[in-house]
Structure 1
Amino acid sequence: MTTQSPFDRLAQQWDDDPVKLQRAGAVASAIAQRTVRGGTWLDYGAGTGALGLALLGHADHLVLADSSTGMVAASRAKIEAAGLADSVRAVRLDLSTDDTVGEYFDGVASLLALHHIADAGRVVGRLAGLLRPGGWLALADLDAEDGSFHGHGRGVRPEHHGFGRAEVGDWLARAGLVDPDFSTPWLNHKDGRDYPLFLAVARRPLEPVEAVGLH
């Protein structure tokens, strides 16, 4: 019998919070302002696909990937209901354990997934390795905080309480990416406090470089 993860159990209610959709829209807009339109994009740790679907139009085709089977099922239901099967698909993928992906992308985006990944730096390297030459990596997550933000319960426990931007910049550099750009596309408001969300965008050069890739 397969054990459900907390995200599997939460998938059907995930989009009930309108703030999640507003946040995804704000991050997608910021990504679109900083990257080149077109091609195929991967939304990693996509959940129910809010970020990726907000990028549709900036991206011609999308792959929504998540390690939670419940989230993937919710994404597939949204794709079918919206009639988007020709341009969007949802797959299960966990780069912490899966060895191969089998395709490359013009852009890879991720929203609030990294802080749930134990070896986040390694996964950033693997995401960078999925980029075609000239492709873009766009990572949005919490700035480092004291742990107060994740007092939400529901069985979802983070691996990290956000990240320092210098640390993320180092991951991007070690992955062989260039032209890093950091911005703050969203402020999370909780219990009278603001928790900034950073967006880190960097590019794979057209020329081959040493990179962490898929190792």
Structure 2
Amino acid sequence: MSSVFATYIELGFHHIFDFKAYDHMLFLLALSAIYTLSDWRQVLGLVTSFTIGHSITLALSTFNIIRFDADLIEFLIPVTILLTCILNFFKMKSAASRQHPIWSLHNLLAVGFGLIHGMGFSNFLKSMLGRSGSTWQQLLAFNIGIELGQLLIVGALLLLGFLILNLFRAKKRDWILVLSSAAAGISLIMILENNIF
């Protein structure tokens, strides 16, 4: 693996954990809130769906095929978080009582919301891209890094949920409500603080 490729994997990985860009972590929290450790296949599918979405717009933006209003994207990102939480509230009863299909409406939304988040990633990536002509490799490595970071985050969330639900005997419905309410509240604050209006 070339040092440049490894560097961009590391950039993508660390970008997910950048607390200045915590909105992506918050989205992953909302996305995986209704799942438990036994649902890891479904969560893997969701994260991959999200990656597919943001990889598309990240590439299109990086190569200047699409252009967008950065303020609008910064507004839409917390909207995607809030909508995901609202969907969680509607699915809370069934989520607390049964397994989920591997492919569902959640996956389609993850792809769609990933398209929006990819545009949010693009400004950071454009500022870091080298001029060596290997943009595709850098883009691929950055996406791999993001995916690895995302998997680590949702893995930690699922493990935390497992401990809360099994060691402390919390109800799954309550756990979903706490996570989704917290993410919804923070995203609502982000929406109201946005200067798009």
TM-score interval w.r.t. the shorter chain? Answer: under 0.3
Structure with more relative contact order (C-alpha pairs < 8 Å, separation 6 or more) = 2
Q: Normalization by structure 2: what TM-score?
A: 0.28
Give the greater-gyration-radius structure (CA): 2
Q: Hey, which of these two has a bigger chunk of helix by percent?
A: 2
